Amino acid sequence: MSTGFAIAVEPLVRRQIFATEEQAARELVRNYVLRQIAALQREVARFERKYGMPFERFSEYLHEHSTLLETSLLEPGQRQALGRAIMQEEDDWLAWKASQEMLESWVGMRREVTS
């Protein structure tokens, strides 16, 4: 173990919270990974609640909305409002996609640190 880590976990080992530095490292990393997964699951769930659909369906919906903006005959005010709404949805799509991908990465990491 690195000296900095050993110094950081030494009080935990001394107080017998963990039997060894190695056990402390495993448990602390495992807990950190689980917290990251939980936070990303909440973020994904927030988007699912906001839009009432899973990410894959939202991607289709956003594409349909963008096509509507490009192909329909709308009044200028309607076109502008729809364009603003789509821009916000695209921002959410990007954040949602990033959260999904990060969640998948952390879930893969969980498999590595718990095996």
- Say whether pLDDT at 78 is over 60: yes
> What is the DSSP secondary-structure string of 15-74?
TTSSSSHHHHHHHHHHHHHHHHHHHHHHHHHHHHHHHTS-HHHHHHHHHHHHHHHHHS--
Q: Where are the domains of the chain?
A: 3-114
Q: What is the pLDDT of residues 30-63, one digit of tens each?
A: 999 999 999 999 999 999 999 999 999 999 999 9
- Say whether pLDDT at 111 is over 90: no
| Predicted local distance difference test score (pLDDT) of residue 1 | 54
| Predicted local distance difference test score (pLDDT) of residue 2 | 63
Amino acid letter, 88 = Q
Residue 3 pLDDT class (50, 70, 90 cuts): confident
Contacts of 61 by beta carbon, 8 Å cutoff, 6+ apart: 51, 53
- Say whether pLDDT at 85 is over 60: yes
